[in-house]
Amino acid sequence: MIEVRNQAALLLAVAAALGAAALGCASDPEPPSACPGGLTASGACAGIPAGALCGGDFCAEGVVCAEVIEVSSDAALSSAAAAARPGACIALGPGAYGPVVLPPGVSLLGRGAGSVSVASVSLAAGDGAVLRGLTVGAGGVQVAGGARARLEAVHVLGSASDGVTLGQGASLDVAASVIEGSARYGLSAFDAVRVTVARSIITGSGGPGLWAQCAGGCDCEAPVELEVEDVILRDNKVVGVSLVGARAAMSAVEVSGNGLRGFDPSGGVSASACATLDATALRIADNSGFGLLIDGASASLGGDEGFEVSGSHPGVWIQNTTAEQTVELRGGVIERNRAIGLGMSGDARGIIIIGMHIAETFADSTTVVVDGNLSQEVVGDGVSWQERAQAAISGLVLSGNGLVSANPSVSPSRRASVLIDGGVGLDSSLADVTLQDGDEAVGIVQQRLPEGGVSPLRGAGAPPLRITPDVLFSVPVAPAIPAALGAP
């Protein structure tokens, strides 16, 4: 059955925190106990709002619609989609529907993800389409190149490929939604224009959780713009978030629990190919691979709201940055990672470390270089400083690194709190560095320093360095940049 209602242009201001009240279903925001998805670092509720979005079977309130077409059967949906004009809204009654291809600027609205499902949704190029209040199944959501659309209170569940795919030049806002159990990417944005994700969850992907990439990399003329706020990315594979030639701002985001993909570890957040990452209140935890990898990219993390990287292998690694790229870590905590807390390598430049705490790095097996050959060795260094990386470090506290092994049957590694291999980059410095809880016993070691090699300048409050031209310890190998998945 199809019923068409003319609707005057009605726009309800959607509150910053999407909840039942923002959708016209209640007068008060839901209490924290009613948050089915989970709370973010800022206390916001991430995920789909509990319950229906309104009291009736058809919900179009809060969306500007030139007309509302009420649909309650598969056949009616096909007819409505074929005839709908830009600005129309198709309101679905409770039930399960097949795949649908929406014309430009046509919206698809359900009363809630628990009562309305669609096999797949394709959004054609055009402006203003809204997908709201429903579950999308194995076909996922495809946003065509050039489209500008919004997903709101949508559950993308069990996609056989990518959960949400953006075409070239597309823009998408995702709010209060869940992308779960996708076979490949949770959300992929290759050569898109802009993506925002807010108060949402991306979880259980067989591949990366969120991948934003400009094909031009460092030569990209228009990087993908990505804004992620109050979002949980959990239990994805390969990497939680990958930024390749993209510009990203992240606030109150959790990236955690990315386990093995086969035998390969999965990382937390990767920024490469001249990407830019600005993040506050970022929490990266319990990943089988690296926590944060900055490779030939710019980044600014922390500040007043800090950041945390924990339970990963290694915690943070910075490499291959140029003189034009700056990586600043300020006011964060890197703790209880495995093998290495912080690594710097690849002739990196422009690293600034201010007011950081690196603590309780677990001694664990990792790949190292010994006499030019790769090997496995138990390592538990707070900082691994290699390959002439240039860094200015101040206000750093190192404590309890290497004291405990990740495997109780393996002895801990007491090598160095900070191991510098070879010379460092010019203008590198150490100031106001505190070694405590066992780190003072092993200290800062600079090995393999050749004649004429550079040591970091020691400012006030910097411990003495133990400097030698000899090889005392093996050198850990840097993590690799995650690779994009091949064609499905």
- Band (21; pLDDT cuts 50, 70, 90): very low
13 vs 455 pLDDT, higher one = 455
210 occurs within a structural domain = no
pLDDT for residue 120: 99
Which region among 15-24, 239-248, 340-349 has the lowest average model confidence (pLDDT)? 15-24
pLDDT for residue 35: 85
pLDDT for residue 1: 52
pLDDT for residue 6: 47
Lookup: tokens for 6: 């003319």
How crowded is the C-beta side of 338, counted as CA atoms within 13 Å? 22
Over 80: is that where the pLDDT of 9 sits?
Answer: no
145 occurs within a structural domain = no
pLDDT for residue 222: 92
pLDDT for residue 5: 52
Q: What's the mean pLDDT when you consider all of the chain?
A: 93
pLDDT for residue 186: 99
- Band (52; pLDDT cuts 50, 70, 90): very high
pLDDT in tens, 421-470: 999 999 999 999 999 999 999 999 999 999 999 999 999 999 999 999 99
186 occurs within a structural domain = no
- Band (3; pLDDT cuts 50, 70, 90): low
pLDDT for residue 18: 36
Interacting residues of 263 by C-beta distance below 8 A, sequence separation 6+: none
Over 90: is that where the pLDDT of 12 sits?
Answer: no
- Residue-by-residue DSSP string for 447-459: ES--TT----EE-
- Band (31; pLDDT cuts 50, 70, 90): very low
Query: What is the average per-residue pLDDT within 214-219?
Result: 94
The per-residue b/e assignment along 353-369, b for 16 or more CB within 10 angstroms, e otherwise, is bbbbbbbbbbbbbbebe
The answer to whether 320 and 314 are in contact (CB under 8 A) is: no
Query: What is the average per-residue pLDDT within 333-353?
Result: 98
151 occurs within a structural domain = no
CA proximity to 47, closest of 150, 145, 146, 155:
155
- Band (409; pLDDT cuts 50, 70, 90): confident
Share of the chain above pLDDT 70, in %: 93
Query: What is the average per-residue pLDDT within 402-425?
Result: 92
pLDDT in tens, 121-175: 999 999 999 999 999 999 999 999 999 999 999 999 999 999 999 999 999 999 9
pLDDT for residue 486: 80
Distance between CA atoms of residues 287 and 171, nearest Å: 30
Q: Which domain holds residue 470?
A: 290-481
pLDDT for residue 32: 43
Interacting residues of 394 by C-beta distance below 8 A, sequence separation 6+: 353, 354, 355, 429, 430, 431, 432, 433, 459
- Band (414; pLDDT cuts 50, 70, 90): confident
pLDDT for residue 487: 66
Over 70: is that where the pLDDT of 179 sits?
Answer: yes
Number of structural domains found in the chain: 1
Query: What is the average per-residue pLDDT within 16-20?
Result: 36
pTM for the whole structure: 0.92
pLDDT for residue 26: 32
CA separation, residue 392 to residues 163, 251, 314, 383, 395 (Å) = 42, 25, 21, 13, 10
34 vs 215 pLDDT, higher one = 215
Place of tokens 């830019």: 276
pLDDT in tens, 252-296: 999 999 999 999 999 999 999 999 999 999 999 999 999 999 999
317 occurs within a structural domain = yes
Over 90: is that where the pLDDT of 59 sits?
Answer: yes
141 occurs within a structural domain = no
Helix or strand or coil: residue 87? coil
Helix (DSSP H) and strand (DSSP E) numbers for the chain:
2, 43
171 occurs within a structural domain = no
168 occurs within a structural domain = no
